[in-house]
Structure 1
Amino acid sequence: MQSLLLLAAVGLAAAETGIKGWLRYAPVPSANASSLPTNIISLNASSNGPVHAAAVELQNGVAGIFNHSLNVLYPTSYQLSNTGSSIVIGTVAEYANTFGGAPKIPQLEDDGYFLNTTGSSVQILGHNERGALYGAFQYLSMLAQGNFSEVAYASNPSAPIRWVNQWDNLDGSIERGFAGPSIFWANGTVKVNSLDRVTQYGRLLASIGVNGIIINNVNANASALTPQNIEGIGRIADTFRPYGVRVGLALNFASPSANLVYGNLSTFDPLDPRVIDWWQNVTDTIYATVPDMAGYLVKANSEGQPGPLTYNRTLAQGANLFANALQPHGGTLVFRAFVYDSVHLNESVWTEDRANAAVQFFTGLDGKFAENAVVQIKYGPIDFQVREPASPLFSYLQNTSTAIELQVTQEYLGQQCHLVYLPPLWKEILDFDMRTNHTKSLVRDIVTGKRFKRPLSGYAAVVNVGTNDTWLGSHLSMSNLYGYGRMAWDPTSDPQSILEDWVRLTFGFDPTVMSTITNMSMSSWPAYENYTGNLGIQTLTDILYTHFGPNPQSQDGNPWGQWTRADGHSIGMDRTVSNGTGFSGQYPAEVAAVYENISSTPDNLLLWFHHVNYTTPLKSGETVIQHFYNAHYEGSNTAQTYPTQWSALKGKVDAQRYNETLFRLTYQAGHSLVWRDAITNFYHNLSGIADTQKRVGNHPYRIEAESMNLTNYEPYTVSPFETASNFTAIVTSANATTGTASTMLNVQSGTYDVAVNYYDLYGGKAQYSLALNNKQIGAWTGNLEDVLGHTPSIYLDGHSAARITFRNVTIAKGDVLKITGKADGVEPAPLDYISVLPLGVVD
């Protein structure tokens, strides 16, 4: 096919909701339909299977990209003479059966495909039907990006398991979901209405090579196994099947004793014959409805979940209970390695450490799991933190199949309210060399089965899409789902190249759009790390509540094990063998030696492995505490640029996605300041060490709300203290609905930005207005819980803290600025401070 050079930009389309994701198939500038083959030949191996879906996808994609219709021909409706200019889609075997011989192509593995555009016809041939579908999506991706070059190559996935995990509850809620309720479940059962959203999700997953999905929460409800729900699971499986996405189910280990229709037992002991029979019966029943079910996912003996340890059985014995039931059906048992004791961990014991748990719990079990069992390991030893070292369990389990668990849903990382592009984080983990037995042992080679020769290995990602048209709650967050699929297919892929493909597919070809989104996204993980928690101290969020806003003191003084062990003089976990918890010794010798020694430990993991004084110098020359101050200001400064960068895209991105994204980036810029101030104030207060640049606690443009003239407002001491400027906010007085706070401005006459920091609580929608000399500047409603999707808060804290800014306000010295707040529900129109800012200044 001809190669076309794209120079023009695509004209703006009508407003888009985001529901099409990267499968927009928007018209491509300079696309020439005359260079296309004249039809599509679908070599169906099964009715309504992935090859049929691929043919339909090709037809729709070409129509959108070229504004040209191609007919789909089937083996019974064409003659061999019609193939001179065709897109031929099918399996290699069906091609050979139809045309009397197999084509000469490179070796294909399961799900692999061969794409050939070098002649007048296009060949898209899969090792199986899924492979053909993946090849079709890749061909359409090329066309949609304006790439009409001639290619002939084979592509095989890096691993057989490329799954997503949905943490959907049966009532329709989603644990750590930030984009509305479930597309699968409602009111305790599978949704009885249309499954159109499931079809659309299947297309998105297939287009990035995902071949399996767990459709319910790992904190599983035994009611998922009722006959009504099994029938519903069958309907979901039917909906996904054309896209090659096999359905799996998360199980509650104690289901046999949950009084279900299969018979209530008094035990769930995995070695009890009655329990074994119970699970075999359930499994046989499910496979009668879903004969191609992918398998089970089990979370056991973690965070209060039941499991085999209840009966002094090993984790392997617990996993094998399910693996053995699945084995006759060809199913896979995935057993989460997220196992730790959250009851008995004691921070006062210097050697105790939650990070040790995975290896400790799996010690002695390597090689004792069934062949169809896979241990799913979170990328780090704790819990999806902004930075962790790679879990040593990847190296420890050399005779056991493993999969890496990533998280697309940004649980600890801004909950889709903050832009954080995650593939660079994943790439760092996947490229890490464990040096097992003094041999190159990249994590990516371990989880693909290459290093230890394990054929059943791969990837899982917690995704948690919801009914929101953006799927994840934010247009830009979809780059993480796209990036996950691309990296699971080929973990050597470059995150920036993946991102650029996604931008072209999602937003088009404008070079300013490309450079802006690329620059913001590639800077976003470092920026978020800087303003939330650096040097390996973890994400300093509230681990006891919503995992969203800042609360560093919540890390310590509890049995959850995400400790910082910070005091007035020092900070960090001592995880050395010589003097600490011994965690560093869980790694192979070469890696352990690096982390054991403070001089060889990289700065970005210093506080993960070592407990040091605040005045300890880093390799950069900064002290630990000064780095904290500098990094938090640097990170929030980067976030301040995002709304400005995005604003340059007005008119280049459709209005709906432009406005919705600008709103989130503006929110992030304001919330990053909440993070910056909370963390720097907390450690300044704890250490007593001043910021050498005199920024921390010094805000010359702020007017504290409690210092203003108050009517029906009263001061309120905020907890945690660091999430309010000067530790104090104001709330409407008891029995008062409306309050005012006013002040005379002692500034030089000129043009200013006026920022208001307030709190937006769940359970009320307070109304605010801002006036200058009784003339309204602007008004807003405290309804962020409805428009952002993050886990809301009912308190004045770092989760509910927010900022709104009114630009280019003309102010004369002596003018009176007044805020009026009208309480609603539990929300007492809380205010923290006002900043009157010279243009271009952020306090």
Structure 2
Amino acid sequence: MKYLQSTFLIFVLFILPASAETGYELWLRYNKIQNPELLNSYLGQIKAFNVIGTSATHDVIKNELSLGLSGLLGQPFEPSTNDDASLLAGLSDEPSIVKYLSESELKQIGKEGYLVKSVSQKEKSRFLITAKDPAGLLYGTFHFLKLLQTHQNLASINVLENPKVDIRILNHWDNLDRTSERGYAGFSIWDWHKLPDYLDQRYIDYARANASIGLNATVLTNVNANALVLTPAYLEKVKALADLFRPYGIKVYLTARFSAPIEIGGLDTADPLNKEVIKWWEEKVQEIYRYIPDFGGFLVKANSEGQPGPQNYDRSHAEGANMMGDALKPFGGVVMWRAFVYSSEEPDDRAKQAYTEFNPLDGTFRSNVLVQVKNGAIDFQPREPFHPLFGAMPKTPVMMEFQITQEYLGQATQLVYLAPMWKECLDADTYVNGKGSTVSKVIDGSLHDYSITGIAGVANTGTDINWTGHPFAQANWYAFGLLAWNPEQTADQIAEDWIRMTYSNDPKTIATIKDMMMNSWEASVNYMTPLGLHHLMGTGHHYGPAPWVSNLSRADWTPVYYHKADAFGVGFDRSESGSNAVNQYSPEVVKIFNSKDKVPEKFLLWFHHVRWDFEMNSGRTLWNELAFRYQDGVNAVRKMQGQWQSIKPQIDENRYRSVQMLLNIQEKEAIWWKDASLSYFQTFSKQPIPDAVEPPTKSLEYYQSLRFPFAPGIRPSW
């Protein structure tokens, strides 16, 4: 099995900081191992490496091993041509590799999978990295270096990994003017003005970072699409990026604006059943593949938030998606059709609309169309129950959409490790095929035998030197890649590996930082939206609390629509006596969510309007419990501040000070959320704030007067 040479030969070296840690290297720090015993052990086992094969990806592997081994082991390592080298990397059909493999191992290695193991032959030990394709060999290379970075015992390693999900993709909400919608780490990393002639080293480092965590695809442009990206001038620029990314196993996708036939094609309609429209898309797709032979396909946002779509012409989502799918199918391309929709007319409950529109279409989509569904039914809130569409479309591949960028979770000023949130969703049981029908089994295709699977993450990268704004936001990029590869992995283990690779292998440092990370999401939920509250954030910028907003052009854009606070109580009644959104779930789940007494308290106010004096599990009234949850969130941030201070000697000065300052901001913002929210809800409950809860320091009118016209990540106007 051979691999086509790329038009570019890539030599990769990270730009190392001259003095202080900048965070640019992410989790790919190859600093010399400081443990003398471990270092000597590795040096005794690894003498030389040989990468067998000739392709652009093989060249990347050679450079990665040279860079990683030289840095970690503190002495130069260059590729050897000796098949007896102590580290051998090559495809599983190479004669010098296959002799070390059993028939069982050969069968178990799948597409993009890899095997890393120690082998012994004729009293000689060595390490083997092998795969069936170059991308898998690259993933195996990163895994081997990770073993060294995390100080693992190499003596008897035997790791066979296959990805559980086919399309593992980042969605960049980046615009052609370099603004990034909901981006909190600077501008877009794509400099469209200088492309295709200026190829920034950052593009290569981006591809390398993604490959290191198993991601294999990227959508370059915003879901609120601009049709210009489909014109020849921009396709030349996209081609330049695709050529750079190819050796790293990464395919390029684009967002397709549904009205493109009108805006750049000169037609007077974009009706998906119109013959001229169909012909236009067929010719456009052919043109794209002339530029990019391995183009992945389109991501489409249609008939949502003002975006054009098939419903403009009284056509269904399936008719729109299938038209594009038919154009892409001869080339192996796919359509990822987003289910984040809501009509121009206000529904009785916006949480119901995606299910209402897409569930009846199950089985009507083409085989190369995936429906991309957010983890929850509203919009990436700090906590949501799993989306009812998971498990509800057995005949249509449903892919997950997570948000890595922290639009509703403190943006780039707050430390919030998102893997526990994603795991709560992935591990949730849909019960659609009986107990154990988890969301992760929907996503990996095993529950419904999907022919193609996918998982997308809205990217949090930008031009900031450390890529993600907050140093700990890097962990969310890293964790997304690991969970996209295998949704069954644990948030705890992912956090530990990231800490070891990014900060330290010191046991106290690992334990302290991991505790901070693993408790950070629950803390943020408590000081923002406890007990199932949601959509309480500021208008437009989504920064900070604004539960009082009620004057927007649509009711379902306002916080008051969602919390429905009144003199009786608070919460959105989605039970059978309310909007009946619960009945979009399986009967077993309905029994849980429909009852105030059975629903987990973390979702209580999502599904029920509950009186202020309702007795909670703690024995407190709802009002008191709400107040204590807000205070618990603030206290948790203060604990993180102390924990970070306790490991100061183990952290470099630059990153220590950065996180310290951000934790100080996070404490202020947590207090702001607590004080503003309790002050507002108190106007309905008419009850005192409990003595153990710190009272607000300012008036409700003060919090309502705050304005943030230039907060980062505000959606641009078109």
Q: TM-score normalized by structure 1?
A: 0.78
Cα offsets for 1:16-44 (capped at 9, x unmatched) = 11110000111112312532433322222
What is the distance in 2 between the residues matched to 1:41 and 1:256? Answer: 51
What is the distance in 1 between the residues matched to 2:363 and 2:90? Answer: 39
- Give the 5 Å matches for 1:250-265: 250-258=255-263, 260=264, 263-265=265-267
What is the distance in 1 between the residues matched to 2:212 and 2:415? Answer: 23
Give the aligned partner of residue 84 of structure 1. 84
What is the distance in 2 between the residues matched to 1:678 and 1:360? Answer: 35
What amino acid maps onto 2:611 in structure 1?
N
Question: What is the CA-CA distance between 1:570 and the residue it aligns to?
Answer: 1.6
Cα offsets for 1:196-242 (capped at 9, x unmatched) = 11100111100000000001100000011121110000000011111
Question: What is the CA-CA distance between 1:311 and the residue it aligns to?
Answer: 0.7
Give the aligned partner of residue 799 of structure 1. none
Give the aligned partner of residue 52 of structure 1. 59
Question: What is the CA-CA distance between 1:147 and the residue it aligns to?
Answer: 1.1
Give the aligned partner of residue 468 of structure 1. 464
Question: What is the CA-CA distance between 1:98 and the residue it aligns to?
Answer: 7.3
Cα offsets for 1:506-532 (capped at 9, x unmatched) = 012233322221121111111101110
Give the aligned partner of residue 181 of structure 1. 187
Give the aligned partner of residue 564 of structure 1. 563
What is the distance in 2 between the residues matched to 1:556 and 1:602? Answer: 32
Tell me the matched-pair count: 685
| 1:113 corresponds to 2:114 | yes
| 1:148 corresponds to 2:153 | yes
Give the aligned partner of residue 253 of structure 2. 248
Cα offsets for 1:496-553 (capped at 9, x unmatched) = 11101100100122333222211211111111011101111115212x2211101012
What amino acid maps onto 1:584 in structure 2?
V
Question: What is the CA-CA distance between 1:439 and the residue it aligns to?
Answer: 4.7
Asked whether the equivalents of residues 219 and 305 of structure 1 are also in contact (C-alpha less than 8 Å), the reply is: yes
Give the aligned partner of residue 64 of structure 1. 71
Give the aligned partner of residue 640 of structure 1. 638
| SS in structure 2 at match of 1:477 | helix
Describe the shift of the 1:698–1:662 C-alpha distance in structure 2 as closer, same or farther (beyond 3 A).
closer
Give the aligned partner of residue 35 of structure 1. 44
| 1:292 corresponds to 2:259 | no
| 1:420 corresponds to 2:429 | no
What is the distance in 1 between the residues matched to 2:434 and 2:158? Answer: 38
Describe the shift of the 1:416–1:273 C-alpha distance in structure 2 as closer, same or farther (beyond 3 A).
same
What amino acid maps onto 2:235 in structure 1?
I
Describe the shift of the 1:145–1:363 C-alpha distance in structure 2 as closer, same or farther (beyond 3 A).
closer
Counterpart of 2:604 (choices 606, 616, 620) is: 606
What is the distance in 2 between the residues matched to 1:642 and 1:102? Answer: 48
What is the distance in 2 between the residues matched to 1:386 and 1:583? Answer: 20
Give the aligned partner of residue 365 of structure 2. 369
What is the distance in 1 between the residues matched to 2:168 and 2:686? Answer: 49
Cα offsets for 1:750-787 (capped at 9, x unmatched) = xxxxxxxxx89667xxxxxxxxxxxxxxxxxxxxx7xx
Give the aligned partner of residue 582 of structure 2. 584
What amino acid maps onto 2:564 in structure 1?
R
Give the aligned partner of residue 200 of structure 1. 205
Question: What is the CA-CA distance between 1:127 and the residue it aligns to?
Answer: 2.2
Asked whether the equivalents of residues 168 and 464 of structure 1 are also in contact (C-alpha less than 8 Å), the reply is: no
What amino acid maps onto 2:90 in structure 1?
G
What is the distance in 2 between the residues matched to 1:517 and 1:273? Answer: 59
- Give the 5 Å matches for 1:535-554: 535-542=531-538, 544-554=539-549
Asked whether the equivalents of residues 182 and 715 of structure 2 are also in contact (C-alpha less than 8 Å), the reply is: no
Question: What is the CA-CA distance between 1:68 and the residue it aligns to?
Answer: 2.2
What amino acid maps onto 1:642 in structure 2?
M
Give the aligned partner of residue 778 of structure 1. none
| 1:23 corresponds to 2:28 | yes
Counterpart of 1:443 (choices 433, 439, 445) is: 439
Describe the shift of the 1:218–1:65 C-alpha distance in structure 2 as closer, same or farther (beyond 3 A).
same
Counterpart of 1:304 (choices 303, 306, 309) is: 306
What is the distance in 1 between the residues matched to 2:683 and 2:158? Answer: 63
Question: What is the CA-CA distance between 1:692 and the residue it aligns to?
Answer: 3.1
| SS in structure 2 at match of 1:460 | strand
| 1:138 corresponds to 2:143 | yes
What amino acid maps onto 2:336 in structure 1?
V
What is the distance in 1 between the residues matched to 2:426 and 2:692? Answer: 40
Return the structure number with greater relative CO, CA threshold 8 A, min gap 6.
Answer: 2
| 1:387 corresponds to 2:383 | yes
Larger radius of gyration: 1
What is the distance in 2 between the residues matched to 1:205 and 1:156? Answer: 17
Describe the shift of the 1:520–1:406 C-alpha distance in structure 2 as closer, same or farther (beyond 3 A).
same
| 1:534 corresponds to 2:508 | no
Asked whether the equivalents of residues 168 and 215 of structure 1 are also in contact (C-alpha less than 8 Å), the reply is: yes
Question: What is the CA-CA distance between 1:101 and the residue it aligns to?
Answer: 8.9
Asked whether the equivalents of residues 270 and 317 of structure 1 are also in contact (C-alpha less than 8 Å), the reply is: yes
| 1:652 corresponds to 2:650 | yes
Give the aligned partner of residue 359 of structure 1. 355
Asked whether the equivalents of residues 680 and 696 of structure 1 are also in contact (C-alpha less than 8 Å), the reply is: no
Counterpart of 2:178 (choices 151, 166, 172) is: 172
Asked whether the equivalents of residues 172 and 185 of structure 1 are also in contact (C-alpha less than 8 Å), the reply is: yes
What is the distance in 2 between the residues matched to 1:641 and 1:696? Answer: 16
Give the aligned partner of residue 280 of structure 1. 282
Q: TM-score normalized by structure 2?
A: 0.91
Counterpart of 1:723 (choices 699, 703, 711) is: 703
What is the distance in 2 between the residues matched to 1:217 and 1:328? Answer: 26
Describe the shift of the 1:421–1:152 C-alpha distance in structure 2 as closer, same or farther (beyond 3 A).
same
Asked whether the equivalents of residues 403 and 457 of structure 1 are also in contact (C-alpha less than 8 Å), the reply is: yes
Describe the shift of the 1:761–1:165 C-alpha distance in structure 2 as closer, same or farther (beyond 3 A).
closer
Give the aligned partner of residue 488 of structure 1. 484
What is the distance in 2 between the residues matched to 1:186 and 1:648? Answer: 44
What is the distance in 1 between the residues matched to 2:596 and 2:533? Answer: 15
Counterpart of 2:660 (choices 656, 659, 662) is: 662
Question: What is the CA-CA distance between 1:698 and the residue it aligns to?
Answer: 6.3
**Residues 201-210 or 652-661, more deviating:** 652-661
What is the distance in 2 between the residues matched to 1:464 and 1:559? Answer: 29
| SS in structure 1 at match of 2:287 | helix
Give the aligned partner of residue 572 of structure 2. 573
Structure 2: runs of 5+ lacking an equivalent: 1-16
**Residues 613-622 or 471-480, more deviating:** 613-622
- Give the 5 Å matches for 1:659-738: 659-693=657-691, 695=693, 697=695, 721=701, 723=703
User: Which structure shows the bigger proportion of residues in helix conformation?
Assistant: 2
**Residues 583-592 or 546-555, more deviating:** 546-555
Describe the shift of the 1:99–1:484 C-alpha distance in structure 2 as closer, same or farther (beyond 3 A).
closer
Give the aligned partner of residue 511 of structure 1. 507
What is the distance in 2 between the residues matched to 1:251 and 1:360? Answer: 24
What amino acid maps onto 2:21 in structure 1?
E
| SS in structure 1 at match of 2:455 | strand
Give the aligned partner of residue 157 of structure 1. 163
What is the distance in 2 between the residues matched to 1:467 and 1:654? Answer: 22
Question: What is the CA-CA distance between 1:606 and the residue it aligns to?
Answer: 0.7
What amino acid maps onto 1:359 in structure 2?
Y
| SS in structure 1 at match of 2:354 | helix
Asked whether the equivalents of residues 167 and 464 of structure 1 are also in contact (C-alpha less than 8 Å), the reply is: no
Question: What is the CA-CA distance between 1:792 and the residue it aligns to?
Answer: 11
Give the share of equivalent positions with the same residue, in percent: 35
Cα offsets for 1:53-101 (capped at 9, x unmatched) = 122111110001001222214xxxx4xxx322332222213x2487689
What is the distance in 1 between the residues matched to 2:696 and 2:527? Answer: 18
Question: What is the CA-CA distance between 1:556 and the residue it aligns to?
Answer: 8.1
User: Which structure shows the bigger proportion of residues in strand conformation?
Assistant: 1
Asked whether the equivalents of residues 91 and 126 of structure 1 are also in contact (C-alpha less than 8 Å), the reply is: yes
| SS in structure 2 at match of 1:404 | strand
| SS in structure 2 at match of 1:470 | coil
Describe the shift of the 1:790–1:510 C-alpha distance in structure 2 as closer, same or farther (beyond 3 A).
farther
Give the aligned partner of residue 521 of structure 2. 525
What amino acid maps onto 1:663 in structure 2?
M
- Give the 5 Å matches for 1:324-339: 324-339=326-341
Across the aligned residues of Structure 1 and Structure 2, the Cα RMSD in angstroms comes to: 2.3
| SS in structure 1 at match of 2:496 | helix
